[in-house]
C-alpha cells in the first residue's frame, strides 16, 4: 500500500492554516487606542492618571526596555448576541516578532479599576471578556518593549543587554488590537485535528491505528466547506469522534502532566522585568483556573511569590485563594531556584529555610520536594540538605543536556556524600516547558529509562524560561490525550500526587551515588569573577554577623537583628539564582548584582562592628595588633574558634630569607623553599620537613596558559574540551623581582602579559607558616580566551578531593571511562587536595571555583597537575564579561591531609578580625566542639525569637567522629532539630549532657542542627 501519511498530514496542515485558523474569529471590531510611554515601570494608579495620545495600528513603539501603556476602549456590538458557540475576546498583537514567548514584547492587561487580569505574549494573545453585547469596555495594557536578546540563540554579541547601550529606536509596531468573536466549534475542530495529526506523525509505519486515524482525518477534511467553515465544523468533528473516543491500552505509559511556568528570575532580562513576568504568568494561570475547574499549577521560588505580594496585592490575594483550594501549588521549597554547585552548604540550607518558611507563613503549606529543573549540575551534598529541611523528593531535567553520557535512569534514589537518599525524577521528555504535544508524549514514553520497573513519568507543561505558563491549547491537549489509543495516558496531576504514585510503583529503585555532574556548562564556575567573589564575601560576612550578633545578645543583652539578617540573607539567596551567580545573564543583571554585593558587604561590616562594640567593653586594652576575634570553627594563631584572644606568632621560627639564584630568585622560611626561574615559573618547591621536592623533574609550576575559548554554543556557560588544543602564546618577556623581604615575610613577584592583559603573581612565604601564598593581580582585557594556571605536583594520585557543600567528594584524575573523561572541569569550594598514601598537598582559594586535576608524565614519571581557571572572556550574553581588574588569592600547603586542607580553607576564607579595645578573657566562645573534624558552620539565635541558640554542625573530614559540644550557657535542654529548627529524633546527640558537655557522634559528612534552650529565658 502506498504510504499516504505525508499526503494526508500535508492536506490537514493546509486546511488548518488556510481554512480553520482564519475562521476561528468570525467577526472583529476595531477599538479606540491611546498610548502613554515611560522609560521605567510605574504602578497602575500612576499610569492611569497620565495624558494619553491616539495610537494607530502599524505605528512604531517601544525603545528597548521601555514600557507603553495602551488604553483600549470600545463597545461589544449588540448584534453579537448571547450564543454558547461564540465567545467575545480582546485580541492583542503587540507587533510580535515570531511565535516565541518570553523573549520579546509582553503585556499585562488591567481593568479600568486597577485589577491585573491577563498576560499577553505571542502564545497567549487573547483575553476572554466578561462584557456582553451592548456593553462598553475600557482596559489598560501595560506593554513591555523587551528586546530579543536571545536572537534565536545564535550567541552573537549584542548591546541590547544593557539599557545604557541598547539605543532608543522603537523595536515594535502595533499589530491589530480588536474585539473578536471566537467560534468555539471551529476552535475545537482545530484542536482535534492537531491532536490526531500529531498522533499520526509519531505512529509507526505498520500501525493499523495510524491508518484508521488517517481515514478519519480525510473524512473530516471532506466535510469542511471552505465557504462556510463555521457551519461545517460540527459535521467535520463528528467524523473524528470515534477515533478520539478509543481508550489507551491498559499497559500505556502514564504521564502526570503538571502545569508549570519555569521563570528565570534574571537572565536575558533584569530582575525588574522578572517581577512583571511573574505577574503576567500568574494572571494567565488564574484565568485558566477560572475557566477550567480541573486545572492545577505548580510554581517554585518563594521570592517570586514575595514579589507578587509586594507589587500586585490583588493578584496575590487571588493566588492565595487558589493555594487554599490546593490548585495553585507552591513547590520546590526554595527561596529561588539556585545554582547548586557554587553556593556553600549553609547557603543551600538557607534557600530551603527561607523558601519553606515563606510558604508555611503565607499559606500554611509544607513543601516536600526540591524542584530545580534548570541548574547546571547538582552538588553531592544536596540530598542531605534537602532531607534536613523535610524534603522527600527531588526533580530536575538538566542532566538530559549531557554531551557525552546518557544518564541511565529517570526515577531513582540519589545518594549524597553522607549516605542520605532522596527519591529523584528526571522528566523523560527532556523539557520543563512541554506543550503536551504528541511529540512530547511519545518522546517521554520512548526515552523513559526505567521501563519494566515502572511506567510513570512527569511532564511539566507551560511556556517557561521567560514565563507565560500553560495555555488553553495545552489544556485541550491534556483532555484529548488523557485516555487515547496510541498515546500514553495523560493525567492532570500535581507534584505530590506524582511522587507518591511513582514511589509506590517503583518498589526497588536504582541508586545513583554522588554528585549529578552536568556534562555541559562547565565555564560557569569561572565566568563573572566579581560575582563569585561577592558571593563568597557575603557568605563569610553573614556567618560573622550572625555569630557576633549572637555573642553580643547573649553576653551583653544587645539587640539581635533578626529582620535585617533575614532581609540580607534573602538578597544573597536571590543573587545565587542559576543565571546570576554563574554569570550567564545580561550586562544589566551583572552590574546590579555587583552593586548589591558592595551594599551588602558595607551593611554587614557595620553590623559586625556594632555587635563587637556591644560584646567588648570600651575600657579594655586597645592593642588591636594583638587582639583578634575568630569566626572560624578552628583555632587560628592562638585565637580560639568562635571567640577572641591574643594572636600568637611563632617568633622562634627561622627568619624568612630571600635571594637570587642564577637569573631567578628563591625564598626560604625553614619549612618550605621556593625557587622561581627567570622564566617566571616555579622550578623548585621543597618541603624541608619531609625533605621532598614537589615539582616533578622536567616540569615547572605556576605555568600561565592562555587558550582560545570559543564554545560551540552557550558562550558564557560552556567551556568545551577543545579549548586545550588551541593555546595562545603569552609574551616571552617576564619581570621577576623580590619584594617585601624581611625576617617575617618574603615575596617573589612575577609580571607577565599578553597583547591585551597584564598578570602579576606573588609567591609569598611567612615565618613559621607551612604554606606558600599565591596572589594574582589580573588586568584582563581579552576576548574569547580562557586563562589557566597549572601546578604540576610530584604526587601519585588516582583521585583528588574537592570541597563541596558540607563536605567533600573525590573525583578521578584519570579518564578510564567516558564519565571520567567528560568531567574535565569541576567545581571546588574553598579547597582541593591531592595526595598519595602518606603525603598530600592542599590548595585553598579565596573565591575561585573552576579546576581540573589531571595526570601527566614528566621525564617518564607520572605526576598530578592542578589546573586553576582564572578568567574567561565570553561575548554572549554579556559582551563585557570580566573585562577589568581582578585580585585572587590561593594558599598551597604541602604535607597536608584532609584535616589540614579543611583548616586551610577556613583560614583563607574566614580570616582573623583585628579588634581595638579587647583582652583575651573578654570573648570566650559560646560553644566549643571536641569531636575531631566536626565544624560549627553557623551559630545564631533561633528564628522564632525565643532567644535560644542554634548551632549548625557538620563533619568535614569524611570520618566518623565522637566528642562533645561544651558551653558555659545555662541550658534547660538541648534539642536536635531540622533546618527549620523543629525538633527531630536525635541523630548525633548520643546521650545526656554531663561534665564533659553534650555527647556527639557523627557519621562522615553528617549535618546536624542543635537548639540550645537557655534557662535564663525560660
The dihedral over CA atoms of 972, 978, 983, 986, expressed in degrees to the nearest 10, equals: -80
Instruction: Kindly report the number of other CB atoms within 10 A of residue 802's CB atom.
Output: 22
Residue matched to cell numbers 621536592: 693
Q: CA-to-CA distance for 579 and 717, rounded, in angstroms?
A: 9
Among the listed residues 333, 348, 331, 335, the one whose alpha carbon sits nearest the alpha carbon of residue 307: 335
- Kindly tell me the sign of the dihedral angle through the C-alpha atoms of 80, 81, 84, 89: positive
842 C-beta neighbours (distance < 10 Å), count? 27
Query: Is 965:928 a contact under the CB 8 Å cutoff?
Result: yes
Distances (CA, A) of 787 to 155, 213, 286, 584, 800: 21, 59, 49, 18, 22
Copy the grid coordinates of residue 191. Answer: 484542536
For residue 118, give the 3-state DSSP assignment.
Answer: strand
Report DSSP letters for 702-753, one per residue: SEEEEEE---SS-TTT---GGGGG-EEPPPS--EEEEES-SSSEEEEEEEEE
Nearest to 541 by CA among 602, 490, 489: 602
- Cα distance between residue 607 and residue 839, in whole Å: 42
How many angstroms separate the CA atoms of 615 and 621, rounded? 14
Residues 46, 203: contact at Cβ < 8 Å? no
Instruction: Give residues with Cβ within 8 angstroms of 304, minimum separation 6.
Output: 263, 265, 274, 278, 336
CA distance 417 to 379: 9
How many angstroms separate the CA atoms of 891 and 769, rounded?
11
The residue from 374, 687, 794, 948 that is catalytic is: 374
Q: What share of the chain is helix, strand, coil (3-state, %, to 5)?
A: 30, 30, 40
The rounded distance, in Å, linking the Cα atoms of 303 and 327 is: 19
Whether 162 is catalytic: no
Give the whole-angstrom CA distance, residue 298 versus residue 282.
11
d(CA 879, CA 375): 22
C-alpha cell at 732: 616571552
Centre a 10 Å sphere on the Cβ of residue 126 and count the other Cβ atoms it contains.
Answer: 17
Distances, alpha carbon 50 to alpha carbons 34, 44, 415, 626, in Å: 11, 10, 58, 64
Helix (H, G, I), strand (E, B) or coil at 460: strand
Name the helix (H) or strand (E) containing 363: helix 345-363
Question: Backbone phi, then psi, for 757, in 5-degree steps?
Answer: -130, 160
Q: Which parts of 394-486 fold into alpha helices (H)? A: 438-447, 472-481
- The C-alpha angle with vertex 650 and arms to 649 and 656, in degrees rounded to 5, equals 110
Are the CB atoms for 793 and 772 separated by under 8 Å?
no
Give 461's strand partners: 259, 434
Between β-strands 172-173 and 86-92, what pairing exists: parallel, antiparallel or unpaired?
Answer: unpaired
What is the distance between the alpha carbons of residues 702 and 716, in angstroms, rounded to a whole number? 26
> What cell numbers appear for 629 in the block?
576575634
Residues tagged active-site: 374
Amino acid at each position: 500500500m502506498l504510504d499516504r501519511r505525508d499526503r494526508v498530514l500535508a492536506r490537514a496542515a493546509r486546511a488548518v492554516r488556510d481554512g480553520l485558523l482564519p475562521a476561528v474569529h468570525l467577526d472583529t471590531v476595531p477599538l479606540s487606542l491611546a498610548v502613554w510611554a515611560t522609560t521605567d515601570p510605574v504602578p497602575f494608579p500612576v499610569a492611569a492618571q497620565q495624558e494619553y495620545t491616539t495610537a494607530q495600528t502599524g505605528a512604531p513603539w517601544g525603545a528597548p526596555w521601555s514600557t507603553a501603556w495602551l488604553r483600549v476602549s470600545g463597545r461589544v456590538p449588540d448584534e453579537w448576541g448571547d450564543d454558547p458557540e461564540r465567545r467575545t475576546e480582546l485580541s492583542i498583537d503587540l507587533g510580535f516578532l515570531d511565535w516565541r514567548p518570553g523573549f520579546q514584547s509582553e503585556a499585562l492587561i488591567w481593568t479600568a479599576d486597577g485589577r491585573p487580569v491577563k498576560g499577553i505574549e505571542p502564545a497567549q494573545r487573547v483575553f476572554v471578556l466578561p462584557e456582553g453585547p451592548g456593553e462598553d469596555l475600557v482596559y489598560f495594557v501595560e506593554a513591555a518593549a523587551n528586546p530579543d536578546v536571545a536572537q534565536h540563540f545564535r550567541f552573537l554579541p549584542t548591546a541590547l543587554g544593557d539599557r545604557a547601550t541598547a539605543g532608543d529606536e522603537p523595536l515594535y509596531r502595533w499589530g491589530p488590537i480588536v474585539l473578536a468573536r471566537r467560534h468555539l466549534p471551529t476552535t475545537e475542530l482545530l484542536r482535534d485535528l492537531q491532536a490526531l495529526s500529531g498522533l499520526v506523525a509519531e505512529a509507526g509505519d505498520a500501525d493499523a491505528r495510524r491508518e484508521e486515524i488517517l481515514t478519519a482525518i480525510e473524512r473530516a477534511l471532506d466535510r469542511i466547506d471552505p465557504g462556510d467553515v463555521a457551519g461545517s465544523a460540527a459535521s467535520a468533528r463528528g467524523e473524528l469522534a470515534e477515533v478520539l473516543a478509543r481508550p489507551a491500552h491498559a499497559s500505556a505509559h502514564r504521564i502526570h502532566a503538571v502545569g508549570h511556568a519555569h521563570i528565570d528570575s534574571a537572565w536575558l532580562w533584569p530582575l525588574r522585568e522578572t517581577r512583571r513576568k511573574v505577574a503576567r504568568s500568574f494572571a494567565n494561570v488564574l484565568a485558566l483556573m477560572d475557566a477550567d475547574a480541573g486545572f492545577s499549577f505548580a510554581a517554585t521560588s518563594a521570592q517570586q511569590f514575595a514579589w507578587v505580594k509586594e507589587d500586585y496585592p490583588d493578584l496575590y490575594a487571588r493566588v492565595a485563594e487558589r493555594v487554599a483550594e490546593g490548585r495553585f501549588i507552591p513547590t520546590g521549597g526554595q527561596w529561588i531556584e539556585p545554582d547548586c554547585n557554587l553556593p556553600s552548604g549553609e547557603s543551600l540550607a538557607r534557600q530551603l529555610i527561607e523558601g519553606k518558611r515563606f510558604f508555611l507563613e503565607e499559606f500554611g503549606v509544607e513543601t516536600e520536594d526540591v524542584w530545580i529543573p534548570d541548574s547546571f549540575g547538582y552538588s553531592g551534598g544536596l540530598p542531605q540538605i534537602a532531607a534536613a529541611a523535610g524534603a522527600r523528593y527531588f526533580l530536575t531535567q538538566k542532566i538530559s543536556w549531557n554531551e557525552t553520557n546518557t544518564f541511565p535512569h529517570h526515577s531513582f534514589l540519589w545518594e549524597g556524600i553522607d549516605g542520605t537518599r532522596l527519591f529523584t525524577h528526571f522528566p523523560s521528555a527532556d523539557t520543563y516547558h512541554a506543550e503536551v504535544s504528541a511529540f512530547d508524549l511519545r518522546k517521554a514514553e520512548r526515552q523513559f529509562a526505567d521501563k519494566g520497573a515502572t511506567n510513570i513519568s512527569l511532564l511539566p507543561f507551560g511556556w517557561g524560561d521567560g514565563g507565560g505558563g500553560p495555555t488553553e491549547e495545552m489544556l485541550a491537549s491534556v483532555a484529548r490525550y488523557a485516555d487515547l489509543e496510541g498515546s500514553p495516558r495523560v493525567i492532570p496531576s500535581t507534584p505530590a500526587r506524582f511522587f507518591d504514585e511513582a514511589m509506590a510503583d517503583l518498589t526497588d529503585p536504582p541508586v545513583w551515588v554522588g554528585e549529578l555532574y552536568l556534562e555541559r556548562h562547565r565555564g560557569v564556575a569561572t565566568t563573572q569573577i566579581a560575582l563569585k567573589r561577592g558571593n563568597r564575601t557575603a557568605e563569610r560576612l553573614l556567618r560573622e554577623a550572625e555569630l557576633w550578633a549572637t555573642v553580643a545578645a547573649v553576653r551583653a543583652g544587645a539587640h539581635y537583628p533578626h529582620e535585617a539578617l533575614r532581609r540580607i540573607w534573602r538578597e544573597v539567596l536571590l543573587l545565587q539564582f542559576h543565571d546570576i551567580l554563574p554569570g550567564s545573564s545580561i550586562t544589566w543583571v551583572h552590574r546590579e548584582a555587583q552593586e548589591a554585593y558592595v551594599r551588602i558587604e558595607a551593611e554587614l561590616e557595620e553590623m559586625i562592628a556594632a555587635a563587637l562594640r556591644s560584646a567588648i567593653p570600651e575600657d579594655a586594652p586597645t592593642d588591636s595588633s594583638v587582639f583578634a576575634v575568630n569566626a572560624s570553627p578552628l583555632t587560628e594563631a592562638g585565637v580560639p574558634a568562635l571567640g577572641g584572644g591574643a594572636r600568637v606568632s611563632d617568633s622562634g621560627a627561622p627568619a624568612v630569607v630571600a635571594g637570587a639564584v642564577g637569573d631567578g630568585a628563591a625564598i626560604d622560611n625553614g619549612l618550605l623553599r621556593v625557587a622561581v626561574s627567570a622564566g617566571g615559573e616555579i622550578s623548585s618547591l621543597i618541603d624541608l620537613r619531609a625533605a621532598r621536592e614537589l615539582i616533578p623533574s622536567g616540569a615547572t609550576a605556576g605555568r600561565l596558559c592562555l587558550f582560545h575559548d570559543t564554545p560551540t554554543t552557550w558562550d558564557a556557560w560552556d567551556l568545551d574540551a577543545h579549548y586545550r588544543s588551541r593555546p595562545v602564546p603569552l609574551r616571552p618577556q617576564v619581570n621577576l623581582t623580590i619584594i617585601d623581604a624581611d625576617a617575617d615575610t618574603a615575596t617573589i613577584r612575577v609580571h607577565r602579559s599578553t597583547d591585551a592583559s597584564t598578570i602579576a603573581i606573588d609567591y609569598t612565604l611567612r615565618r613559621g607558616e607551612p604554606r606558600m601564598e599565591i596572589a594574582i593581580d589580573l588586568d584582563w582585557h581579552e576576548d574569547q580566551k580562557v586563562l589557566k594556571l597549572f601546578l604540576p605536583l610530584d604526587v601519585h594520585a588516582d583521585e583528588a578531593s574537592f570541597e563541596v557543600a558540607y563536605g567533600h567528594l573525590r573525583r578521578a584524575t584519570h579518564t578510564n571511562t567516558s564519565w571520567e573523561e567528560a568531567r574535565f572541569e569541576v567545581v571546588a569550594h574553598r579547597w582541593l587536595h591531592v595526595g598519595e598514601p602518606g603525603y598530600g598537598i592542599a590548595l585553598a582559594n579565596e573565591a575561585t571555583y573552576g579546576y581540573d586535576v589531571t595526570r601527566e608524565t614528566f621525564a617518564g614519571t607520572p605526576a598530578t597537575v592542578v589546573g586553576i581557571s582564572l578568567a574567561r572572556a565570553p561575548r554572549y550574553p554579556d559582551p563585557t564579561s570580566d573585562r577589568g581588574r581582578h585580585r585572587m588569592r590561593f594558599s598551597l600547603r604541602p604535607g597536608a591531609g584532609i584535616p589540614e586542607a579543611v583548616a586551610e580553607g577556613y583560614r583563607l576564607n574566614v580570616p582573623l578580625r583585628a579588634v581595638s579595645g579587647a583582652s583575651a578573657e573578654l570573648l570566650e566562645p559560646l560553644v566549643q566542639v571536641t569531636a575531631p573534624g566536626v565544624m560549627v558552620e553557623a551559630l545564631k539565635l533561633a528564628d522564632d525569637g525565643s532567644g535560644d541558640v542554634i548551632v549548625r554542625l557538620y563533619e568535614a573530614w569524611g570520618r566518623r567522629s565522637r566528642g562533645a559540644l561544651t558551653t558555659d550557657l545555662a541550658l534547660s535542654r538541648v534539642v536536635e532539630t531540622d533546618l527549620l529548627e523543629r525538633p527531630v529524633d536525635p541523630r548525633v546527640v548520643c546521650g545526656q549532657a554531663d561534665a564533659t558537655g553534650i555527647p556527639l557522634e557523627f557519621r562522615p559528612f553528617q549535618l546536624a542542627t542543635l537548639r540550645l534552650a537557655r534557662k535564663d529565658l525560660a
